[in-house]
C-alpha cells in the first residue's frame, strides 16, 4: 500500500525523491514526507532534514525548501497505526535525530517494544509502529548501521520493507520481510523503491530483494546479506517503458488502461496460440494425480477467479474451488490432491502470498498468475503464468483483470479434452477478442450517456446469472470504488430472497442479459424487478430484439460465443463506472482509502 523511495548517488536527492514518490501515488496514501542527509561532505555537523505533511506530494512540494544532499528517502503513508497527521507521517527519527526510517508493513509487537523502550528513556513523537524501529536501531548503533539494523529487525514480529539512514553517511541500509522492495541500479547512483514504477525515469535495471535480505546501498555499490551471509541477487531488466507508465493524452490512467485492453489481450495470447494451427502452447504443466483446483485471490482478481471457476468446470469437468485469500488462511480443507493457483496483479498481495505459502507447506503444487516479473509470488509458486498486460497505474484494475481472464481461459482450454471442432471454435473466439473489445470501446459515447443517467443515484444493483454473475460483482465493485455510489451485485435469482425489500424508483438495476441458457430466467427476474419500480439498464448483444420491451435502456454489445461474454460485458461496465465517476467529479485514479497493491494484512 504505502510507497517508499530512496536515493544514493552524485545528484541532489530531493527532486529525484519527489518525482519517484509521484510515480507511486497510485498505491494510495494519505500523507507523505522526505528525509535528506545534509552537509555530509562538509566539516559542519551533518544533520537529517525531515519534511512531511498530510495530503498529496504536490502539496508538500509547494512548501518544501530546497534541501541539498546526495542521500535521502521518501514515503507515502496509508494509515494503519495512528490517525492521519504530520506527526504520524514518515520518515521517523530516533531521539538523537540522526537516524531516519521509512517503513511499509505492520509491526505486530510494536506496543510491547514501545513500552520497553519508554521505560529505558526513549520519547516517542508519533502513534506509529514505525517509530519503534528507529529507536531500536538507536539502541544498537555504535558506528555500524548495517549491524544495528540487523539486530533491531531481529526483534520485530510482522512485515516490513524499510530504508534507514544516518546523518553524514553516504549510504542507505534497506531490508524486507513479506513487503516488496527493489533496488534500481544506475551509473554511480542507485535507487530503492517499493515498486519499479518509481525508478523508471532513472534506470531500466533492478534487483528484487527477497525475504530476509539486508542491503547496503551507496552510489558506488550494493551489497546484500541474508542471515549474515553474503548473497547475490540477479539483476533484471524492467519490461516496461516510461511511456507505458504515463497517461499518453488520456484524462485518467484508468481510461487509458481501459482503451489498452485490446492490445493487452493480444500480449497475453502472444506465444500461447499458434498463428497457423489451432493450438495452445503453455509452459504450465499439470501433475498427474491431481483431482481438483483451488484458486485463491483478492478483490478484482477474486472475481476473475470466480469466472475461471465456471470456465474450468465447463471445459475440463474438473472440480474447482475459489477462496478469498484472506479467508483461506483461516480455513481447513482436504487438499491431498489439490492444485493451488494464486492470482495477484502485483504479485505482492500479502493475503495471496500467505495463501500460496500455506499451500506449499501442505505439499500442494502451486501456480501463480501475475503481471509483474520478479514479484514475490513468482519466487514462492512453483510455476508462473505471466499476463503481460504492461504497467497499470489506475487503482481500479481494468486491463489486468482482462488479462487474468485470458490466462484462465487458456489454462482451461489447454487441460480440456474437447471435440476438435469445439476446440478450434474456442481458439478462434480468443483470437477475435481484441477486435470485439475494440467494438465496445468504439461505442463509448453511448455508454457515457447511460452513465450520466446513473450518476445522480445513491444505490445501484447489478445482477447476472451463471458465468456473468461474477461479472456483475466486478461491475458493482468498479462503480463503488471510483464513483462512491453504493453498489451491490446479486445472482438474479437471489433478489427475491431479501434484496427485493430495497427495490424502488431510487434503486436502478444493471442487468447482464447474455443469450445463453440463463437468458429466459434473466427476463423473468427483470419482469419481477420492473414490477417494483426500478429503472433497468440491460447489457445485451446486437440482434436481441426482445430485451427492449422489458427494460428502460440497453447497452448493445457485439455477438460472441456466450463463453466469451464476460470480456465484453466487463469492458462495458468499466466504461459505465468510469463515466459515472467523471460525471460526479470523483478522483478516478486515486479513490479514497484504496491502494493498488495491498501489502498489509
Asked, for residue 599, whether it belongs to a domain, the answer is no
DSSP state of 45: P
Asked, for residue 537, whether it belongs to a domain, the answer is yes
Count of domains for the chain = 3
Angle at 97 between CA 96 and CA 102, to 5 degrees: 125
Question: Tell me, what's the pLDDT at 276?
Answer: 61
> What would the mean pLDDT of 142-155 be, rounded to a whole number?
96
pLDDT tens, position by position, 167-192: 989 999 999 998 889 999 999 999 99
Statement to judge: residues 176 and 58 lie in one domain = yes
* Per-position b or e across 202-228, b if 16+ CB within 10 A of its CB: bbbebbbbebebbbbbbbeebebbbee
> What would the mean pLDDT of 246-250 be, rounded to a whole number?
80
Domain boundary among 385, 416, 442: 442
Q: Residue 549: pLDDT above 70?
A: yes
Which residue in 22, 399, 582, 596 is the catalytic one?
596
Statement to judge: residues 53 and 168 lie in one domain = yes
Statement to judge: residues 176 and 208 lie in one domain = yes
Strand order in the sheet with 509-512: 486-491, 459-464, 509-512, 536-541, 553-557
Asked, for residue 593, whether it belongs to a domain, the answer is no
Question: Tell me, what's the pLDDT at 597?
Answer: 57
* Per-position b or e across 73-112, b if 16+ CB within 10 A of its CB: bbbbbbbbbbeebeebbbbbbbbeebbbbbbbbbbeebee
Neighbours of 250 (CB within 10 A): 14
User: What is the percentage of the chain residues whose pLDDT exceeds 90?
Assistant: 71
pLDDT band at 93 (very low <50, low <70, confident <90, very high): very high
User: What length is written for the chain?
Assistant: 601
Mean pLDDT taken over the chain: 91
In sequence order, the 6+-apart residues with CB closer than 8 A to the CB of 275 are none
Residue 506 sits in which domain range? Answer: 444-587
Statement to judge: residues 217 and 250 lie in one domain = no
The three grid cell numbers given for residue 201, joined into one nine-digit string = 525515469
> What would the mean pLDDT of 427-453 be, rounded to a whole number?
94
β-strands 160-166, 171-177: how paired?
antiparallel
> What would the mean pLDDT of 550-578 be, rounded to a whole number?
97
Statement to judge: residues 152 and 250 lie in one domain = no
Among candidates 572, 598, 195, 597, which has minimal Cα distance to 398?
572
Statement to judge: residues 234 and 130 lie in one domain = yes
Domain boundary among 383, 415, 442: 442
Identify the residue with better confidence: 440 or 545: 440
pLDDT band at 598 (very low <50, low <70, confident <90, very high): low
Asked, for residue 364, whether it belongs to a domain, the answer is yes
Residue 2 catalytic?
yes
> What would the mean pLDDT of 193-215 be, rounded to a whole number?
92
Statement to judge: residues 119 and 162 lie in one domain = yes
Maximum mean pLDDT: which of 241-245, 288-292, 501-505, 527-531 = 527-531
pLDDT band at 226 (very low <50, low <70, confident <90, very high): very high
Q: Distance (Å, rounded) from C-alpha 133 to C-alpha 156?
A: 8
Q: Residue 339: pLDDT above 80?
A: yes
Identify the residue with better confidence: 6 or 63: 6
Asked, for residue 594, whether it belongs to a domain, the answer is no
Q: Distance (Å, rounded) from C-alpha 413 to C-alpha 176?
A: 38
The three grid cell numbers given for residue 251, joined into one nine-digit string = 484524462
DSSP state of 206: E
- Cα-Cα-Cα-Cα torsion 473, 373, 183, 78, nearest 10 degrees, comes to 0
Residue 52 catalytic?
no
The three grid cell numbers given for residue 334, joined into one nine-digit string = 482436504
The CATH number assigned to the domain holding 264 equals 3.40.50.10490
pLDDT tens, position by position, 23-80: 887 767 889 999 999 965 555 678 999 999 998 899 999 989 999 999 999 999 877 8
User: What is the percentage of the chain residues whose pLDDT exceeds 70?
Assistant: 95
Q: By mean pLDDT, which of 35-44, 94-103, 460-469 is the weakest?
A: 35-44
Question: Tell me, what's the pLDDT at 562?
Answer: 96
Statement to judge: residues 45 and 117 lie in one domain = yes
Q: Distance (Å, rounded) from C-alpha 138 to C-alpha 98?
A: 9
Q: Distance (Å, rounded) from C-alpha 188 to C-alpha 8?
A: 9
Do the beta carbons of residue 190 and residue 219 sit within 8 Å? Answer: yes
The CATH number assigned to the domain holding 163 equals 3.60.20.10
Statement to judge: residues 416 and 463 lie in one domain = no
Question: Tell me, what's the pLDDT at 475?
Answer: 98
Statement to judge: residues 397 and 453 lie in one domain = no
Q: By mean pLDDT, which of 68-82, 322-336, 465-479, 528-542 is the weakest?
A: 322-336
Asked, for residue 46, whether it belongs to a domain, the answer is yes
Domain boundary among 380, 410, 442: 442
Question: Tell me, what's the pLDDT at 1?
Answer: 60
> What would the mean pLDDT of 184-213 be, rounded to a whole number?
93
Asked, for residue 596, whether it belongs to a domain, the answer is no
In sequence order, the 6+-apart residues with CB closer than 8 A to the CB of 253 are 26, 247, 392, 393, 394, 589
Q: Distance (Å, rounded) from C-alpha 351 to C-alpha 363?
A: 19
Question: Tell me, what's the pLDDT at 515?
Answer: 93
Statement to judge: residues 400 and 487 lie in one domain = no
Do the beta carbons of residue 553 and residue 530 sit within 8 Å? Answer: no
pLDDT band at 600 (very low <50, low <70, confident <90, very high): low
Question: Tell me, what's the pLDDT at 74?
Answer: 96
pLDDT band at 18 (very low <50, low <70, confident <90, very high): very high
> What would the mean pLDDT of 368-382 be, rounded to a whole number?
92
Which residue in 2, 32, 298, 364 is the catalytic one?
2
Statement to judge: residues 151 and 251 lie in one domain = no
Asked, for residue 86, whether it belongs to a domain, the answer is yes
Amino acid at each position: 500500500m504505502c510507497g517508499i523511495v530512496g536515493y544514493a548517488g552524485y545528484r541532489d536527492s530531493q527532486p529525484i525523491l519527489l518525482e519517484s514518490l509521484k510515480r507511486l501515488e497510485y498505491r494510495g496514501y494519505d500523507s507523505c514526507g522526505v528525509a535528506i542527509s545534509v552537509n555530509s561532505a562538509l566539516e559542519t555537523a551533518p544533520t537529517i532534514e525531515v519534511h512531511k505533511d498530510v495530503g498529496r506530494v504536490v502539496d508538500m512540494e509547494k512548501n518544501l525548501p530546497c534541501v541539498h544532499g546526495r542521500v535521502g528517502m521518501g514515503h507515502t503513508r496509508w494509515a494503519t497505526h495512528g490517525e492521519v497527521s504530520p506527526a504520524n507521517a514518515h520518515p521517523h527519527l530516533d531521539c538523537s535525530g540522526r537516524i531516519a526510517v521509512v517503513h511499509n508493513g505492520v509491526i505486530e509487537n510494536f506496543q510491547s517494544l514501545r513500552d520497553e523502550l519508554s521505560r529505558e528513556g526513549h520519547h516517542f513523537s508519533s502513534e506509529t509502529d514505525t517509530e519503534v524501529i528507529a529507536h531500536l536501531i538507536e539502541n544498537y548503533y555504535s558506528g555500524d548501521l548495517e549491524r544495528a539494523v540487523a539486530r533491531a529487525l531481529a526483534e520485530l514480529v510482522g512485515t516490513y520493507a524499510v530504508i534507514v539512514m544516518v546523518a553524514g553517511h553516504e549510504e542507505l541500509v534497506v531490508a524486507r520481510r513479506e513487503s516488496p522492495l527493489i533496488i534500481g541500479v544506475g551509473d554511480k547512483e542507485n535507487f530503492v523503491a517499493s515498486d519499479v514504477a518509481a525508478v523508471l525515469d532513472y534506470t531500466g535495471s533492478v534487483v528484487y530483494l527477497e525475504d530476509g535480505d539486508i542491503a547496503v546501498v551507496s552510489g558506488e555499490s550494493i551489497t546484500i546479506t541474508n542471515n549474515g551471509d553474503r548473497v547475490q541477487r540477479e539483476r533484471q531488466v524492467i519490461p516496461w517503458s516510461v511511456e507505458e507508465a504515463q497517461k499518453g493524452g488520456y484524462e485518467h490512467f484508468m481510461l487509458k488502461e481501459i482503451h489498452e485492453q485490446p492490445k493487452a489481450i493480444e500480449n497475453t495470447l502472444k506465444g500461447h496460440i499458434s498463428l497457423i494451427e489451432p493450438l495452445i502452447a503453455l509452459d504450465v504443466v499439470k501433475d498427474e494425480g491431481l483431482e481438483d483446483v483451488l484458486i485463491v485471490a483478492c478483490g478484482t482478481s477474486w472475481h476473475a477467479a470466480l469466472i475461471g471457476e465456471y470456465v474450468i468446470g465447463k471445459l475440463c469437468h474438473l472440480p474447482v474451488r475459489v477462496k478469498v485469500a484472506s479467508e483461506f488462511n483461516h480455513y481447513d480443507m482436504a487438499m491431498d490432491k489439490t492444485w493451488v493457483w494464486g492470482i495477484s496483479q502485483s504479485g505482492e498481495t500479502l493475503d495471496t502470498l500467505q495463501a500460496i505459502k500455506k499451500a506449499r507447506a501442505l505439499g500442494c503444487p502451486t501456480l501463480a498468475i501475475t503481471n509483474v516479473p520478479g514479484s514475490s509470488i513468482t519466487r514462492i509458486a512453483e510455476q508462473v503464468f505471466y499476463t503481460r498486460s504492461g504497467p497499470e497505474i489506475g487503482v481500479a484494475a481494468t486491463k489486468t483483470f482482462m488479462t487474468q481472464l485470458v490466462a484462465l481461459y487458456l489454462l482451461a482450454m489447454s487441460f480440456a479434452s474437447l471435440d476438435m471442432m469445439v476446440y478450434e471454435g474456442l481458439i478462434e473466439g480468443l483470437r477475435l477478442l481484441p477486435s470485439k473489445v475494440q467494438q465496445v470501446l468504439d461505442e463509448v459515447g453511448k455508454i457515457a450517456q447511460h452513465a450520466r443517467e446513473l450518476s445522480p443515484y445513491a444505490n445501484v444493483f447489478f445482477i447476472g446469472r451463471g458465468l456473468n454473475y461474477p461479472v456483475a460483482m466486478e461491475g458493482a465493485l468498479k462503480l463503488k470504488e471510483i464513483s462512491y455510489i453504493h453498489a451491490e451485485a446479486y445472482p438474479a435469482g437471489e433478489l427475491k430472497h431479501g434484496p427485493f425489500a430495497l427495490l424502488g424508483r431510487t434503486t436502478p438495476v444493471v442487468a447482464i442479459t447474455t443469450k445463453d441458457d440463463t437468458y429466459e430466467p434473466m427476463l423473468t427476474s427483470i419482469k419481477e424487478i420492473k414490477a417494483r419500480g426500478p429503472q433497468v439498464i440491460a447489457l445485451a448483444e446486437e440482434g436481441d430484439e426482445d430485451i427492449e420491451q422489458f427494460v428502460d435502456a440497453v447497452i448493445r454489445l457485439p455477438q460472441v460465443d456466450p463463453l466469451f461474454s464476460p470480456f465484453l460485458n466487463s469492458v462495458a461496465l468499466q466504461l459505465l463506472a468510469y463515466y459515472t465517476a467523471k460525471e460526479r467529479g470523483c478522483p478516478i485514479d486515486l479513490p479514497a482509502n484504496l491502494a493498488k497493491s495491498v501489502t498489509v494484512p
